Copies of this chain bind each other. A is one copy, B any other.
Amino acid sequence: MRVSDIPKIRSLMLFKDMDEDSFSELTRAAYVQDFPPQVDLILEGDRCDFLHIMIDGSLELFAEWNRHETALTILRSGATFILAAVVRDAPNLMSARTLEKSRVIMIPAEDVREIFQKDHEFARAVVMELAYCYRGVVKGVKSLKLRTSIERLANYLLKWQKKTGGSDSFTLGIEKRRLASILGMTPENLSRAIKTLRPYGVEIDGQNVKITDPDALKGLAKPSPLIDDPRS
């Protein structure tokens, strides 16, 4: 681990309130590694020996069954993954693969569990993080079960617009086929869904999105804070 990484790590949700001793104990044990795009970091079914934390780049969590694959989420800088598996010392339910060149901190699961016992603030942060992840997945299920694919796409666009600063022009940031998988549809279907949204003021060219009539789009999407609000 490079010294230059430390401040960035320290500022992450999970670590920012923990005491200095515990933090240096964790970082002493931790590795930082860089990966090129398209690398599988973990495989579903494997034991998880390390808690992973993204400090740069992006990756997708995905799962397979019966020769089919689906993406569950995209993670970016600051996100933790397989925390739940580490906590329960259980096999990973998802695989992870880098999408871009990525830098990842890996903390031995043993050390995480140990520090958890010693440091109240860290324990609190772990619980907050887990609860946050849980709520994220619950929102995802609600979206899947209650909405059509077009509604999911519309809400995704509105959410992503907000996350990228709110301008009416922004960029998708991921390949469409991955977006399709995240949203629970095929790439072909996503293409058609995009066309369907054109009358609602959505122009998508490659990765570039422009939302010219937000009200029309919102009218279709009917966003709800209990599904689409990333905070809370």
Partner of A138, one of B66, B94, B222: B94
Known: A63-B226, A144-B145, A146-B63. A87 touches B137 (CB 8 A): no
Beta-carbon nearest neighbor of A72 in chain B: B141
The reply to whether the CB of A199 lies closer than 8 angstroms to some CB of chain B is: no
Contact B145 A87 (CB under 8 A): no
The reply to whether the CB of A68 lies closer than 8 angstroms to some CB of chain B is: yes
Contact B142 A144 (CB under 8 A): no
Contact A142 B91 (CB under 8 A): no
Q: How far is the CA of A94 from the CA of B65 in the complex (A)?
A: 28
Q: How far apart are A92's CB and chain B's nearest CB, in angstroms?
A: 8
Residues of B within 8 Å of A128, CB to CB, are 87-88
Q: How far is the CA of A66 from the CA of B94 in the complex (A)?
A: 31
Beta-carbon nearest neighbor of A45 in chain B: B226
Residues of B within 8 Å of A160, CB to CB, are none
Contact B124 A134 (CB under 8 A): no
Contact A135 B224 (CB under 8 A): no
Contact B227 A135 (CB under 8 A): no
Residues of B within 8 Å of A4, CB to CB, are none
Residues of B within 8 Å of A15, CB to CB, are none
Contact B232 A88 (CB under 8 A): yes
Residues of B within 8 Å of A132, CB to CB, are 88
Residues of B within 8 Å of A88, CB to CB, are 128, 131-132, 135, 232
Of the stretches A19-27, A33-41, A115-123, A204-212, the one at the interface is A115-123
